[in-house]
Every structure is written in C-alpha cells, then in structure tokens.
Amino acid sequence: QLQLEESGGGLVQAGGSLRLLCVASERTFSYATMGWFRQAPGKEREFVAGISWSGSNTSYADFVKGRFTISRDNAKNRVYLQMNSLKPEDTAVYYCAADRNGVMVRTTPVAYTAWGQGTQVTVSS
C-alpha cells in the first residue's frame, strides 16, 4: 500500500511563497503519475498540478500557471510543489495524490488512488 505524507503548508502573506513536500512510503511510486489537488471550504476538490512518472510531462491548472511549479525526485521518493506569488484565493488544504494507472497526467480526482492527508495553506490579504 502506497502512503503519502504532505508537509510545508503554513500561513503566508499575499505575494509570498511556500514549497510543499510529498513523501512516498514506497519506491514503486516512481512509476506513478503524481498530482497536487486542493480543496477550499465549500468547494470541490480541484486539480492544481500533475507530473508524469519520468517528470518529462507536467500539467497545470490555468489559475496557477506561471506561479506554481511541480517537480519530483524519484530517488528520494519525493514530489514538490513550489508556490510563488500566492494569492488569498490559493487558501485551501493541499493534497498529494498518486495515479498508478495513468501515463499522461489526469485532472480528475477519481483517477488517483492514493492520497495524503493534506496540508493547510493559508494566504492572508
């Protein structure tokens, strides 16, 4: 069973930066497409960014393009989300997820079968 744990969330001012970290329990995660999702109160969980198993392909939601960068280090069982120019509307619980069946990055939450417990990101105005 693949387990994921996120960290790096916190409280920042608008315009600030955070770097989220996702650590996988197994090296087999290296062959999974990884994604970051977020969920704000009263809203559905939404796709933020994704990266293929090799790291050669990335995908971003329109609302984070140019601000967020997803990356991975398979040798260290890690996935990162660098978040710059944060906005109050970025406030949400951020989740790391693994899609063991996907080759290309998929954006629907149901495609991802392993999830972390989430880390809170709060951006003050």
What's the sign of the alpha-carbon dihedral 106, 27, 3, 78?
A: negative
Residue 85 pLDDT > 90, yes or no?
A: yes
At residue 124, φ and ψ (nearest 5 deg) are -85, 150
Instruction: Taking the CA atoms of 84, 87, 89 and 94 in sequence, report the sign of the dihedral they define.
Output: positive
Q: What is the pLDDT of residues 21-58, one digit of tens each?
A: 999 998 777 788 999 999 999 999 999 999 998 899 99
Q: Decide if pLDDT at 60 tops 90.
A: yes
Task: Write the DSSP assignment of 58-113 as a string of letters.
Answer: EEE-GGGTTTEEEEEEGGGTEEEEEE-S--GGG-EEEEEEEESS-SS----GGG--
Give pLDDT, residue 37: 98
Give the amino acid at 40: A
Give the model confidence (pLDDT) of 93-113 as tens digits. Answer: 999 999 988 778 999 999 999
DSSP letters spanning 103-116:
SS----GGG--EE-
Extract the tokens encoding 73.
């280090």
